[in-house]
Amino acid sequence: MPVPRHPQGYDLHDLRDRLLRAQETAIATGTVPPTLRPVVRESWERALRGQIDPDHALPRVELDEDEFREYRASHALAPVLPVIRRLLVDGADDAGLVVAVGDEHGRLLWVEGDPGLRRRAEDMLFIAGADWSEASVGTSAPGTALQLDRAVQIRGAEHYNRIVHPWSCTAAPVHDPASGELLGVIDITGTDHAVAPHTLSLVQATVAAVEAELRIASLESTVRATLRRSRMTAVPTPRPTRTPLTVLGERRPRLGAVELSPRHAEILTLLAWHPRGLGAERLASLVYETEASPVTLRAELVRLRRVLEGAGEPPLESRPYRLGREVDLDAASVAKLLTQGSLKRAAERYAGPVLPASTAPGIVGAARRARRATARIHAVGCLARGARRLRRARRVPLRRRGLAGAPRGAAAALAATRLRRRAPRAHRGRTALSPLQRPCNPRATGRQPVRA
């Protein structure tokens, strides 16, 4: 979509005066004059509805230094930063421009370029970590480009925030070439040179190069994953031992010899159950009871990557999130044994519910399925023990019961009479229970069962 530009030959001072008067009218009446460019007018209307103060609104800095550094390092645009530097930053020092790269929420991740201009921009908190979304500061090229999902140029007093009136900027959004998901924004900020026509073309060309680099990286990741999963190898190689992930029962969850926090155990369990991976939104919905922002999940995944490194595991893969190598999840092993009909082995390996203290929706659902499987193990185990008792009873010779020489029918009648005499009072007048009919746990009935 073409970017609306100012008509040729306009006077900058006259334009600035008209914009200042239009802003005063908009603030006083609550209505933006129709003389503004449509992209600016609509952005000012959003700022008015958001009650942004044009004189005192400053961007928020929400993450501390360590959290921001981890978040930035794990962002999808971090691997392609060298491309942006090569195309934009290397020439920005001489051109008197500042180059900024932001995430999909408007938070600036990197701010580089002319050192003197950067120091001046710090006065309005145009720094790494600051939130320059429209909801935070009103009209600006980075925030408005993200809001509209297209390239934008904003000159001087077109900014709703008067602190930004000395600056002009051009920005364009960056998308994931595979999914079309909005990843972030690339911005050039400076004097009037920052909104020249060739500046817009340069930013759009840089976005195209970045998206091409992301596509190549995605294809390389797919090829590597395909080769890992492929069984067509010239020389058979021994399969590496998978690290055990223990989440059943009351014990502290562990990955190999490393103890896990409850949240890390939940994430690893869900990723182990879904080897093909989970998207950020789907994983967050399975981990958190209430709606959580992707920033919260990404910060947790950054910490989890360090845990995996300490356990000798490869790092998590992204888009979608998945384990770099399969782990031996004890809950999955029990489920597989049940599927194969190995009930005895499943019962031996079942140590208790899946992460019993967890309230994560995905874990609660897995625990519910495990309880149904446990009931099946218990029921089949009771029948098997009852069958063994019946076989032992049938092997006892008649002479051991004091019925040697008696006819088969008479012996059976006499045996039944003796059993009734020995039965507890509550069972008299009723047929003695067979081994298959006895309770699996005699103590649960309050009395010993009748013995054949």
**Would the pLDDT of 55 be above 60?**
yes
373-414 pLDDT, tens digit each: 556 555 555 555 555 565 565 555 544 445 454 444 544 455
Look at 178-187, 333-342, 405-414, 431-440 and tell me which has the smallest mean pLDDT.
Answer: 431-440
Q: Give the C-alpha separation, 19 to 10, whole Å.
A: 13
Look at 159-173, 348-362, 393-407 and tell me which has the smallest mean pLDDT.
Answer: 393-407
CB 262 within 8 A of CB 286: no
Mean pLDDT, residues 53-77: 91
Most confident range, picked from 162-166, 298-302, 400-404, 417-421: 162-166
**Would the pLDDT of 11 be above 50?**
yes
Q: In this predicted model, which residue has the larger pLDDT, 125 or 338?
A: 125
**Would the pLDDT of 287 be above 60?**
yes
Beta bridge partners, 131, equal 107
Q: Give the C-alpha separation, 189 to 120, whole Å.
A: 12
Q: Give the C-alpha separation, 407 to 403, whole Å.
A: 9
Q: How sure is the predictor about 314, in pLDDT bands with cuts at 50, 70 and 90?
A: confident
Q: What per-residue confidence (pLDDT) applies to 367?
A: 66
Q: What per-residue confidence (pLDDT) applies to 47?
A: 93
Contacts of residue 96, Cβ cutoff 8 Å, sequence gap at least 6: 114, 117, 190, 191, 193
**Would the pLDDT of 444 be above 60?**
no
Mean pLDDT, residues 180-194: 93
Backbone φ, ψ for residue 428 (5° rounding): -65, 145
220-278 pLDDT, tens digit each: 877 777 776 665 554 555 555 788 888 888 788 988 888 889 889 888 988 988 888 88
Cα dihedral 317→320→321→327 (10° resolution): -80
Q: Whole-prediction pTM value?
A: 0.52
